[in-house]
Chain A
Amino acid sequence: DQQVKQNSPSLSVQEGRISILNCDYTNSMFDYFLWYKKYPAEGPTFLISISSIKDKNEDGRFTVFLNKSAKHLSLHIVPSQPGDSAVYFCAARSTNAGKSTFGDGTTLTVKP
C-alpha cells in the first residue's frame, strides 16, 4: 500500500509559466510534508515544507499548498525556469514515527 502517491510521472512546462506538482497521501497520521528536488547523480535537496497546522507555505518562487480534508498537497513554482528541471519528490512524516515516506517522484522539464 503506497501511502504517498505522485500520480504524474512527468510534467513539461514552458519557461516563465507556472509548474504545479501534485501529491496525495493516505495516512492520517502524517503531520509534516516536504518537497525535495533531485538532479541526476546527486542526492535529493530539501526544497520546502509545510506543517499540517498550515494550509500554505511560501518561499520565493515556491509555494506548497496543503488540503488536509482531501489529503492532497501541491507544489507551485512561479515562474518556472530551465534550472528547475529535475525530479521532484513529495515526502510525508508523522512526528512520532521519525521516518519520511516518499512518493515515486515527478520529472519536471522546463522548456526555454
Chain B
Amino acid sequence: KAGVTQTPRYLIKTRGQQVTLSCSPISGHRSVSWYQQTPGQGLQFLFEYFSETQRNKGNFPGRFSGRQFSNSRSEMNVSTLELGDSALYLCASSLVAGKHEQFFGPGTRLTVL
C-alpha cells in the first residue's frame, strides 16, 4: 500500500506570494492533518480534515487555509507569504478522524525569500 504523498517536495517563493501544497493520504484513510515544523521546533498543528470538513484548527492566522476533496486528498494554501512561513509542512493521514496513530508524508520544504 502506497504511503502518504506530498507535492511538491521543495518550493521557493517570495514574500507576498501565495502557495498551494498537496497531500494524498494512504488509500482508505479519510482523515488528513497538516503540521508545520520550523528549525528547532516541534510539529505545530495547523488543521485536520475528515470527510471534506475541517474538524480542528490550530493557532495559525487566517492566511493559512485548507480543504479536503471527496477522494480524501487535501490541499493547504498560504496567502501573502512571510519570511517566517519558511518551514517543513507535513501531512498526516489516519483511517478515521480521532484515530490516534497517524502516518506522515515526507513533507514539503517551503522557503520564502
Segment at the A interface, from B14-22, B60-68, B69-77, B93-101: B93-101
Flag whether A70 is at the interface (Cβ < 8 A).
no
Q: Among the listed B41, B44, B55, B104, which residue makes an inter-chain contact with A45, where contact means beta carbons less than 8 Å apart?
A: B104
Q: Among the listed B4, B45, B105, which residue makes an inter-chain contact with A100, where contact means beta carbons less than 8 Å apart?
A: B45
**Closest residue on chain B to residue A5 by CB atoms:** B42
| Bitwise interface map of B from 34 to 72 toward A, beta carbon under 8 Å scored 1, else 0 | 010000111111001000000110100000000000000
User: In the complex, which residues of chain B have a beta carbon less than 8 angstroms from the beta carbon of A49?
Assistant: 100-101
User: In the complex, which residues of chain B have a beta carbon less than 8 angstroms from the beta carbon of A45?
Assistant: 104
A46/B98 in contact, CB under 8 A: no
B101/A46 in contact, CB under 8 A: yes
| Cα distance A59–B31 in the bound complex, in angstroms | 26
**How far apart are B1's CB and chain A's nearest CB, in angstroms?**
15
A99/B56 in contact, CB under 8 A: yes
In the complex, besides A46-B101, A102-B35, 13 extra interface pairs with C-beta distance below 8 angstroms are: A34-B100, A41-B106, A42-B106, A43-B4, A43-B92, A43-B107, A44-B43, A89-B43, A98-B56, A99-B58, A100-B45, A102-B43, A102-B45
Binding site for B on A (CB under 8 A): 4, 6, 32, 34, 36, 41-46, 49, 89, 91, 93, 95, 97-105
